[in-house]
Structure 1
Amino acid sequence: MFLQKIKPFLYLGAFYLIISLIVRIVFLFHPITTASFGFFEVLKVLSIGIINDIFVFVLASIFLALYFLFLSNTKYKKPYGQIILGIFVLFFLYILVIPNNIFKQYGGSIAEVALAFIGLKTLFFAAMLFFPAQRIKIRNTLYFIVVFLYTTIIIFNAVSEYFFYNEFGLRYNFIAVDYLIYTNEVIGNIMESYPVIPLFLAISAVSLTITWIIFKRTKNELLDLPNLKQKFILLGSFIVLAGVSLLGLSFTTKITSPNVFAEEIEANGLPKFYWAFTHNELDYFQFYPKIDQKVAESNFLSQFSEPKLTRNIISDQPELKKNVVLISIESLSAEFMEHYGNTQKLTPFLDSLANHSIMFTNLYATGNRTVRGLEALTLCIPPTAGESIIKRQNNKNKFTTGSVFKSKGYDVKFLYGGYSYFDNMQDFFAGNGYGIVDRNNFKPEEISFANVWGVADEDMARKAIQVMNAEAKSGKPFFNHWMTVSNHRPFTYPDGRVDIPGNAKSREGGVKYTDYSLKLFFDMAKKQDWYKNTVFVIIADHCASSAGDTELPMDKYKIPALVYSDGFIQPQKFDQVMSQIDVMPTVFGLLNFNYQSKFLGQDVFKKEFQPKAYIATYQDLGFVKDNHLTVISPVRMIRQYSLKQKPSQLSPQFNIYYDENVLKEHNQKLVDETISAYQSTSYWIKNNNLNR
C-alpha cells in the first residue's frame, strides 16, 4: 500500500537521477573540464553526486507532497465545499480589490502571480464541486499538469546547468543569482545567443513524453485516495526524509577535492544556488583565518613609503592636468593579443597601439566579473569575500579615482553602452560623484546596432567623442571611464566591420569587433584638439573564462593593459607581476599628482613597489607573490601553490601559463601577508575607513 502511494515520487525521482547522471557524464567529458579523472575518482564523483541528487529531490518534492496531502473527496461535501469555495472567492477579491494587500507590499509581480494562482485554484475547485461526475477527469488533468511542471523543471534545470557550466566551468554561483535578478538582460542574452525556440520545443516534447509515461503508470493512485491515517503516515515519512536530506546535504556539500572540477561535477546546482543567494556578502572575520588586527594592518601598510592608511602622495615634478580616458574592455583575456602569443590577428589595432605605449605584460585581474574589474579600477583595493562593493548597499561616498580627479577640477563621467542600472553600476557611480552617460542618453538615430547588453561599441565610441568634445569646450580637464559591451555573449555586432559575420556569435568576432571600434574611436579622437593633451588607459575588466584545474587558475586572470599618450608616454614594457588595483595609482604618478591617498594599490614605478597580485572568486581569496599563490577560503582553509611558468599553448616563446603545484608545507611569511591584506581591507570596508 505504501509503495503504491509513493509511485509518483519514485518515478519522478528516478527520472531526476537519470537526468542528473547524464549531466555529470557530459561535464566529465566537456572540453572545459581540463582535469583528468582516474576510475576511482570518477566513481567517487558519481557516487557523491547521486547522494546529493537524492537529498535535493526529497526536498524539492515538498510541493508534490502537499499536492497529495490535500487530495480529498470529503472537502466537496456540504457544507465544507461551499465554505472552502467562499474562502477562495474572498481571497481572490482581496488580492484583486485591496490596493495595499500583503502581496503588493512585496513589489514586483508577486501580486499578479498570486492572483492568477488563486483564480485558477478557485475555478478548478468550483468545477469539481459543481460537476462531481467530472471530478476524476479534472483531477487527472491537474495531476498531469503537476507532473508536467516537475519534468519540465528537471529538464530545464539540466539544460541551464549545462549552459552555465559551458560558460563558466562551474555549477550555479553568484552569477546565476545575478541572472535571476537581471532577467531582462539575461533572458535577452539567452534569446540572442542560443536557438531558444528549437530548444524549448525539444524540452517541451521530452517533458510531455516523460509526463505521459509517468501519468499512465501512476494515475490509478488517484482513484483510491489515502485516508487521514495514511496521510499522516506519508506526511511523517516525508518530514523524516526531509530532515535526513537537510542533514545529509550539510555534510556532502562540504566534501572537498584537490580537483575543482571534481567538486563542481559531484555537486548539485540547486544547493549551490541557494547558498549563493543567501551569502552575497561573507563576513571575513567569521569565515576566514585571522591574525591580530594591528599586526595585520602593520604588515599590509609596510609596503608603502608612508605606512599609513591615509598617505600624502607628493611629486617632485609639476602636476600635469591632462585629460584621462580609461577604457575597460569586456572579457579581453591576454591570450587574445599578439603581444602574448596569439597568432590569429584578433587585435591588430591594440597590438599596434601597444608598441607606442607603456605595456604591463604581467598584470592580473582581481576577479572574474565586470563589477570586480570596475571595483579594482575605481576603488583600487583588493577584492573582498562575497559580492563586489559595487553591488552592496554601503557603496557610496568612497575614496575613488573619480574623487581624486574631481579634487583637481576634472569633469568626471562613467560611459556605458547598456543601461547602467545593470549590476548596480548606476547606483555606485552616481553615489560616488560620477556623471553617467548610458543607453538612456542615445537618440534612435545614434544607434546603428544594439543587442541586449547595449549599443554597439562603435556607437558608444561616437557618443564618447561627442561627450568629450563638449567637456573640452567647458575649459575643464576631463576623466571619462568607458566600459565596453560588445565582447560579450551573444557576440553580435554590425556586419561588414570585420571578417567574421556579425551574426556568427563568435567570441573571436567579438574581440575583433571591439578592436575595430577602438580603432574607430582613436581615428576620431586624433582629429580633436584635446587629443594631444590626453592619456588613454586601456585594460580588460577580466578574462574571457575563469575555469581551470584549481580554484584560482593564474592563466585565467592575466589581462592586457597599456597606457598611451601621443608625445607624452615613452613606449616600454613593464614585466613585473602587478595587480589591476595598481593601474590608476600608477597613472596618477605619471601625471605627478599631489593628493591624499587611501588607495591600496601602488604606483609600480616607485622604488617601494612590491611585485604582487590579488586574484579572487566570491569566496576564494588569492595572493600572488614570489612565485607563490596563497589562497584562503571559508572555514579558515589555507592552501599554497608554487608557480612555474610554462610555454604558451598559442606560441611557445610566450610564457603566460602556469603550473600550480600544491605545497604541503606553507611559506608562513606569505600566508601572513595574504591574511594581512584581506583582513585589513575587510576591516576598513566594514568600518567605512575607505570613505572620502
Structure 2
Amino acid sequence: MKSAKNRYAVLFGFAGLFVVLSFLVRTALLIWAFPQAGLPFTGILSVYAKGFVYDVGVALFFTVAYGLYLLLLPQRLNNTVFNRVFTFTGFFLALMIVIFSFFAEFTFWGEYAGRFDFIAVDYLIYTYEVISNINQSYPLPLLIGGVILGTALLTWLCARRGIFRNSFQSRTPFAKRLVIFILLLGATAAHAFLISNDWADKSKNRYQQELSKAGVYSFISAYLNNELAYDKYYLQEDEHKAFATMRRLLQSSDAEYLENGQSIYRNIIDTTAAVKPNIIMVTIESFSADFMTRFGNKEHITPVLDSIAQNGILFTNMYATGTRTVRGMEALTLAVPPTPGQSIVRRHNNENLFSAATIFRKSGYEATFFYGGDGYFDNMNKFFGNNGYDITDRLRHRLVDDKLAGKRTNIPDSAVQFENAWGVCDEDIYKAAIKSADEKFAAGKPFYDFIMTTSNHRPFTYPGGKIDIPSGTSREGAVKYTDYAIGRFLKAIQDKPWYKNTVIIFVADHCASSAGKNEIEVSKYHIPCIFFNVPDTPPQEIPVMCSQIDIYPTLLKMLHWSYHTNFYGKNVLDSSYQPRAMVSTYQKLAYLEPGKMVILSPQQKAQCFTWDPAKSEEQPAPMDSALLSHSVANYQTAYSLFKNNGMKK
C-alpha cells in the first residue's frame, strides 16, 4: 500500500522502518539468547510489548527535529532541489546511523549479553582503541561497505514506495502541520518524562530486561546517568550509625582506630618482625575462575596457572567487585567497595587517595604501573600517576598532558614483538617489567609493581607460533596464550638475583562475561587469585568467601607488617573475619554472605535472595535485616568517604 500525499510521509516512513528493523533485531537477539534465558511465554510477550514502546520512543526522538523543519518549511520550498537534497541526505545519514547501531548491538551483545550501557559510552570516548579493535576483529571495509549498501537499498525501497514523492508533492496546510507537530512533540515529551530505561528492569530475569530495551535508548540513558549519587538514589541509614556498623565490621584484634566518628582510618599492629620482599601483582585481563582446570575446565588451557595454584596459595572463593578493568583496578589499589556509576579510576577528584602504593612508598618501595596499551585510555595514567605510581605504558597520545605526579616511561618500538588495538602482547609487558625490576634491584630499591595484561581481550590476537590455537580465533586461544606468557615470565625471572625475595600475585581484574538470567549472576564474578613465592608459607588453598579488596590486608599479615590503613579489605585468615563479598554492575550493588545476598538498586530499593553457588541459583527471600545493615554500611560509607575526601591520604 503506497503512502498518501502528506508532507510528513518521509517522517512516518522512517519511523515505521525503524520500528520494523528494531523488531527484527530484538527477535534475532531473543533467538540468540533463548537457550540461556529461560523466558516463559509471558516474558517473551513482555519483551516485545516493552520493546515496542522503547522503539517508538527512539523513532520519536529521531524525527521530532525534522518534524519542526517540516512545520516551518514554506510551501513554495517543499518541492525544490534544496528540500529534496536535504531530505534525501538526512534520511540516508539517519538510516545509516541506525543500521550501524544495529550491527554494533550484535557485537556488543556477543561480548556483554546486554544492550548499550556505560561501557558503550566509554567506547565512544576512546575512539582509537575501539576503532582499532573493530578493525582487527572484523573486516572493516566490508562492514562499512555493507552498512552503506544496506542503507542505499532501504532508501531505494522507500523511494519506490513513494514516500519521498508524496512528501515533496504534498500541499499539507499549515494548520494540519501544526496539529501533527504538536502531537509529535507531545508524544516525545510524554515518552521522555513517563518512560525510563529502568522500566525494563522490573523483571527478575536479566535477559528479559535487556531484550526489552532499545540500544539507542539505553545508550542515551547511560550517557545521561554516567554517575549515580548514592545519597540520592540508594537506601541509606543515619550516617553515624552506618559508620559505627562499618567500624565494627572492620575491627580486628590487631587494629586500633586512629580517628573517631566518620572514619575507618586505623593502625594495624604486628609484633613479629616484618618481612619485606618485592611485590609483583599480575592483573590478568578478563580471566574467569572457570578457565582453570582446578575450577572444572576440561580444555586444559591453563597448565601454568594450574601448576602455580598447586605450589602457591590459592584463593578458591574470591569475587571481583565489578565487570570492567577499571573496577578491578579500583578494588586492587584502593581496597574499597564499588560505588554506583563509574569506577573511581575514571572520576574527578581522584588524586592523592590512600592506596596500596601509599603503604609501599612509606616503606621505601618504588611503585610502578605497567600497561601494554596507552594509559590515557579509561583515565588509567592520571589515576595511577597521581596516586603513588610511576607509569610504564605504550605511549600513543603524545600531545596529551596527563599532569602526572609520577614519572612516565614509554615502551619503545624496539621492545615490541606484537601489538594489537589494546596494546603489546603479554610477553612484551612482562619484559618491560623485568627490565625495570633489574634496574631497581641494581639501585638497591625494593619494588612494588602492578602489571595489567591485555592479551585476553577481543580481538584475541597474539604472536604466532606460541601455542597450538591460531591467533584471533577464540577466547580459548587468548586464555591459553595468556597462560603461556605467564610461564615464559616465570622462567625468565627464576634466575634473577631478586627472584627469591619477590612475591608474585596472579589475580583477574574481572570475569570474561557477566551475562546470566539473574539480575546479578554471582558465578560470573568468581575469579582466581594466587600468592606465589611467599616466604616461609607452604602451599595451601583458602576456601573462605572473600573479595579483591582483601588481597593486600591478607598478604601484609602473612608478611607481618605494621601499617596505617584506610582499606575496607580485611585479612581473611583473621579469626574475626566474616566471609563476604561485594559485586556490582553500574547500578546494582550486591552484598554477599555465604548462601544469601542483598541487592541495592536506585529508588532506594533493596531485595534479598538466597543463592546456591553449586547450582548458580538465586531465589527471592525475606529481607535479612543484619545483611541489609552490613550492605548499606559498606556502600554508603564508601560513597561518603570518597565524596567528602575521606579517602585522601
Q: How many residues align?
A: 622
What is the Cα deviation at residue 275 of structure 1? Answer: 2.0
Distance change in 2, residues 1:551/1:157 (3 Å) = same
CA distance in 2, matches of 1:156, 1:45: 23
SS of 1:59 mapped into structure 2: helix
Distance 1:419 1:595, change over 3 A: same
- Determine if contact 1:415/1:482 at 8 Å carries over to the other structure: yes
Equivalent residue for 2:158?
Answer: 214
Determine the C-alpha separation between the residues in 2 that align with 1:514 and 1:251: 38
Cα offset, 1:159, TM superposition: 1.3
Conserved in 1, the CA contact under 8 Å of 2:9 and 2:164?
no
In the alignment, the residues of structure 1 paired with residue 412 and residue 19 of structure 2 have an alpha-carbon distance, to the nearest angstrom, of 52
Q: 1:429 to 1:145 in 2, by over 3 A?
A: same
- Amino acid across the alignment from 1:662: P
Deviates more, 1:369-378 or 1:590-599: 590-599
Deviation at 1:151, TM superposition (A): 1.9
The equivalent of 2:363 in structure 1 is: 408
**1:676 aligned onto 2:633:** yes
Point out the more displaced range, 206-215 or 408-417.
Answer: 206-215
Identical-residue share of aligned pairs (%): 36
Could you say what secondary structure the match of 1:638 adopts? strand
Residue 202 of structure 1 and its aligned partner are, at CA, apart by 2.1
Q: Do residues 203 (structure 1) and 147 (structure 2) align?
A: yes
Give the corresponding residue for 1:118. Answer: none
Distance 1:249 1:173 in 2: 17
- The answer (yes or no) to whether the contact 1:174–1:276 under 8 Å persists in 2 is yes
Helix, strand or coil for the counterpart of 1:472?
Answer: helix
Tell me which moved more, 282-291 or 407-416. 282-291
Residue 302 of structure 1 aligns to a residue whose secondary structure is: helix
What is the aligned partner in structure 1 of residue 260 from structure 2? none
Rounded to whole Å, the distance in 2 between the matches of 1:637 and 1:29 is 32
Q: Which moved more, 1:215-224 or 1:43-52?
A: 215-224
Residue 159 in structure 1 maps to residue 103 in structure 2:
yes
Aligned counterpart for 2:321 among listed residues 366, 370, 382: 366
Q: Give yes or no for the alignment of 1:51 onto 2:16.
A: no
Q: Secondary structure at the match of 1:362?
A: strand
Write the distance in 2 (CA, Å) between the matches of 1:672 and 1:64.
51
Amino acid at match of 2:19: L
CA distance in 2, matches of 1:533, 1:400: 23
CA distance in 2, matches of 1:195, 1:148: 23
Describe the shift of the 1:32–1:351 C-alpha distance in structure 2 as closer, same or farther (beyond 3 A): farther
**Deviation per residue, 1:197-248 (Å, 9 max, x gap):** 2222222222111101222412222134545445434432322222232234
Distance of 1:328 and 1:20 partners within structure 2: 39
1:661 is displaced (CA, Å) by 1.2
> Quick one: structure 1 residues 256 and 620, their matched pair in 2 at CA, closer, same or farther if it must change by over 3 Å?
same
Secondary structure of the corresponding residue to residue 630 of structure 1 = strand
Equivalent in the alignment of 2:129: 185
* 1:103 matched residue in structure 2: none
8 Å contact from structure 2 (residues 6, 170) kept in 1 = no
Give the Cα separation in 1 of the matches to 2:83 and 2:25: 33
Which residue number in structure 2 is paired with residue 528 of structure 1? 496
Q: Which position in structure 1 is the counterpart of 2:32?
A: 30
Residues 532-547 of structure 1: pairs in structure 2 closer than 5 A: 532-547=500-515
How far is 1:530 from its partner?
A: 0.2
Q: Give the superposition deviation at 1:500.
A: 0.6
Corresponding position of 2:644: 687
The aligned counterpart of 1:608 is 576
Provide closer, same or farther for how the CA distance between residues 379 and 417 of structure 1 changes in structure 2, counting only shifts above 3 A: same
Select the residue among 597, 613, 618 that pairs with 1:660. Answer: 618
1:138 deviates by 5.2
Q: Could you say what the CA RMSD is over the residues aligned between the two structures, in angstroms? A: 1.9
Shift of 1:458: 0.6
For the residue of structure 1 that corresponds to 2:37, the secondary structure is: coil
Contact (CA 8 Å) 1:52, 1:252: kept in 2 or not? no
Counterpart of 2:565 in structure 1: which amino acid? S
Which residue is 1:328 aligned to? 283
CA distance in 1, matches of 2:33, 2:311: 37
Whether the 8 Å contact between 1:326 and 1:537 is mirrored in structure 2 is yes
1:425 has 2:357 as partner: no
What TM-score does the superposition give when structure 2 sets the normalisation length? Answer: 0.92
1:290 deviates by 1.0
Cα distance per residue 1:525-567 (max 9 Å; x no partner): 1121000000001100000000111121111000000001166
Q: Deviations over 1:363-393 (max 9, x none)?
A: 0000000001010010001111111001001
| Structure 1 unaligned residues grouped into runs of 5+ | 77-134, 647-656
Deviations 1:650-674 (A, max 9, x none): xxxxxxx5211111x1111111111
1:292-323 CA distances to partner (integer Å, 9 max, x unpaired)? 11111111221222474111111121111210
Q: Does 1:449 pair with 2:418?
A: yes
TM-score by length of 1: 0.87
Query: 1:273-672 alignment to 2 at 5 Å?
Result: 273-303=219-249, 304-305=251-252, 306=255, 308=257, 309-440=264-395, 441-504=410-473, 506-565=474-533, 568-646=536-614, 658-663=616-621, 665-672=622-629
Aligned twin of 2:193: 247
For 1:12, the equivalent position in structure 2 comes to 14
Q: Which amino acid aligns with 1:25?
A: T
Give the aligned partner of residue 207 of structure 2: 261
1:163-218 residue CA offsets vs partner (Å, 9 max, x unmatched): 11111111111101101110110111111112332222222222111101222412
The superposition leaves residues 432-485 of structure 1 with CA deviations (integer Å, 9 ceiling, x where unpaired) of 121000013122221111001001111111111101100111111100000001
- Secondary structure at the aligned position of 1:345 is classed as coil
Structure of larger gyration radius: 1
Aligned letter for 2:164?
Answer: K
Change in 2 beyond 3 A, CA 1:581/1:60: same
Kept after mapping to 1: 8 A contact 2:8/2:67? no
- Structure 1 segment 77-92 matched on structure 2, within 5 A: none
Separation in 1, partners of 2:217, 2:35: 21
1:139-150 superposed matches below 5 A = 139-150=83-94
The aligned counterpart of 1:42 is: 44
- The answer (yes or no) to whether the contact 1:410–1:476 under 8 Å persists in 2 is yes
The answer on whether the counterparts of 1:413 and 1:481 sit within 8 Å (CA) in structure 2 is yes
Tell me how far apart the structure 1 counterparts of residues 77 and 596 of structure 2 sit (CA, whole Å): 69
In the alignment, the residues of structure 2 paired with residue 33 and residue 622 of structure 1 have an alpha-carbon distance, to the nearest angstrom, of 26
**Rounded Cα–Cα distance in structure 1 between residues aligned with 2:512 and 2:301:** 14
Shift of 1:513: 0.8
1:225–1:442 distance in 2 versus 1, CA, 3 Å:
farther
Paired position in structure 2 for 1:104? none
SS at match of 2:36: coil
TM-fit CA distance, 1:252? 7.6
CA positional deviation for 1:569: 3.3
Q: Is the 8 A contact 1:169 1:547 kept in 2?
A: yes
Pair 1:232–1:567, CA change in 2 (3 A) = closer
The separation in 1 between residues aligned to 2:541 and 2:198, in whole angstroms, is 48
